[in-house]
Amino acid sequence: MRLNAIPSVRSLALVCGLSLASALVVPAYAADAARPTALVIHGGAGVITRDQLSQADEAALRADLDRALDAGNAVLKNGGAALDAVSAAVQVLEDSPWFNAGKGAVFTADGTHELDAAIMEGHTRRAGAVAGVRTVRHPILLARAVMEHSPHVMLAGEGAERFADTRTELERVPNTWFDTPRRRQQLDAAREREQRQAAGENIPLPKGAYFGTVGAVALDQHGHIAVATSTGGMTNKRWGRVGDAPVIGGGTYASARCGISATGWGEFYLRSVAAHDVCARVELRGDPIAVAAEDVINRIIPAMGGDGGAIGLDDEGAIVMPFNTSGMYRGWIHPDGRRGTAVFREP
């Protein structure tokens, strides 16, 4: 009975052959199928409390987050590149007065606006960035132009403006186009605080003064990742201050397996090379992106004295949105199609 139960060599060969043939068919089919896409965006982390945000204002800014998701997702669902998706999403956020980028940019100490942006494509490691831009409506498009039409990675100040003069496709606006009443009130409050400090009052800088950025990270049907980040910087900033947003590796970074766009107290993100640190842990050590992002954003940066948040995803479409402030404007579309927007911590 036992001998009869043992399959013959011929039978084993047939079974193994069929199994092997079946196994070989599956990857070929999978290779022909479009991979799921994913998209995550943010409109900045900071001191956002429920009593400071009316229901009407929250509805308005969530609507802009949804419009940015729609713009990026339309590119991805049509088979477009992650680079085009993050460009589309960030342009919507740059046109919104609710976020500190483009139209919603904060004022400098001189009462003007200086805008920064960066973009990076993970599988090629191509990158472009600009800092201290004054007249380009969509700084993210200028950053992309630096990447695609110059031999450089970052241009700043007057040089960036002169390069923009060579790109006729870029829309230019007067610096006052970026003015909004809410940002003017924030500048007035910052100036008053400085005057009181100069008079001897001990008034610490309020947390959240450094915050305000927009960003997007996308995974396309080819498995490619791209990241874009744009910001108006810090209210009442001086001396051409540049934060982490336009610095590749600081507030913006993408590799073949990971993409991160950060938002927070830029000086600490620069010192910790936060965006690169997260992706290096994913690529080199094999950490899950959730573990890597949690450790960098919610342990290392607070231990240094900073705070903020970040968004990111990996090459499987796993999305992360860690933050250690009271709120972070954010939106997401998972590979399975689930989507949403949020401001505060979800229960």
Cβ(250)–Cβ(231) under 8 Å?
no
* 263 belongs to the catalytic site: no
Catalytic residue selected from 37, 108, 135, 213 = 213
Distances (CA, A) of 70 to 37, 216, 223: 13, 12, 20
Q: Residue 279: which residues within 8 A CB-CB, separation 6 or more?
A: 253, 254, 255, 257, 258, 259, 260, 292, 312
3-state class (DSSP) for residue 71: helix
Largest interatomic CA distance in the chain? 100
Distance CA 13, CA 2 (A): 20
Q: Of 336, 294, 292, 296, which is closest to residue 316 (Cα–Cα)?
A: 336
Distance CA 247, CA 278 (A): 15
3-state class (DSSP) for residue 333: strand
The number of beta carbons lying within 10 Å of the beta carbon of residue 66 is 16
Q: Of 76, 88, 89, 86, which is closest to residue 34 (Cα–Cα)?
A: 76
Which residues of the chain form beta strands (DSSP E)? 38-46, 115-121, 126-133, 154-156, 214-219, 225-231, 252-254, 258-264, 308-314, 319-320, 327-333, 339-344
3-state class (DSSP) for residue 295: helix
User: Which residue in this structure is represented by tokens 């992002």?
Assistant: 293
Q: Residue 159: which residues within 8 A CB-CB, separation 6 or more?
A: none
Residues identified as active-site: 213
